[in-house]
Amino acid sequence: MSERLQPGDVAPAFTLPDADGNEVSLAGHAGRKVIVYFYPAALTPGCTKQACDFTDNLDLLAGAGYDVIGISPDTPEKLARFREKESLKVTLVADPDKKVAESYAAYGEKKNYGKTYMGIIRSTIVVDEDGKVAHAFYNVRATGHVAKIIKDLGI
């Protein structure tokens, strides 16, 4: 597992397919601030709440100069169903082999009900215009997290 990212680190580059199969890359957002968030699975209650919160606040975030990219290990087809079912406006990309999640330290050991297993660690990384990590939030809660980010970023 990778070391957790810290402010000032260069954000790992990635190019992944979105819900429509189009490539989305961090480099494609150069010169913009980007909120990259990792979530375990589309069409689950917590991940739906989080994605809906980002969608509901997308205009506010975009107005402050932030793009939002959600990354999960789901297939592009499942992401398309998720987007349609929940009317999501955030960019959702597929990381089925979890390589990008690993590079962001958003994949690793988790504990739930006394069991230890490997999985996606709900995380949000804010990348500045120069491709450097501005903020790194790990083990975040699905509910209330977007409001906390907005507050922390002073938006």
The single-letter DSSP state of residue 107 is E
The pLDDT assigned to 2 comes to 64
Provide the mean pLDDT of the chain: 94
Residues carrying an active site annotation: 47
Is the pLDDT at 43 greater than 80? The verdict is yes
- pLDDT tens digit string along 73-98? 999 999 999 999 999 999 999 999 99
Answer whether 5's CB lies under 8 Å from 11's CB.
yes
Here the contacts of 81-85 (C-beta below 8 Å, separation 24 or greater) are: 81/42, 81/43, 82/19, 82/42, 82/43, 82/48, 82/51, 83/19, 85/43
- pLDDT tens digit string along 101-114? 999 999 998 887 88
Query: 112 exposed, middle or buried (CB, 10 Å; 0-12, 13-18, 19+)?
Result: exposed
Q: What percent of the chain has pLDDT above 70?
A: 99
Tokens describing residue 148: 């906390």
Question: Which superfamily does 9-153 belong to?
Answer: Glutaredoxin (3.40.30.10)
Confidence band for 153, pLDDT divided at 50, 70 and 90? very high
Average pLDDT over residues 5-17: 97
Average pLDDT over residues 38-63: 94
Q: Return the domain boundaries, the chain.
A: 9-153
Confidence band for 1, pLDDT divided at 50, 70 and 90? low
- pLDDT tens digit string along 123-146? 999 999 999 999 999 999 989 989
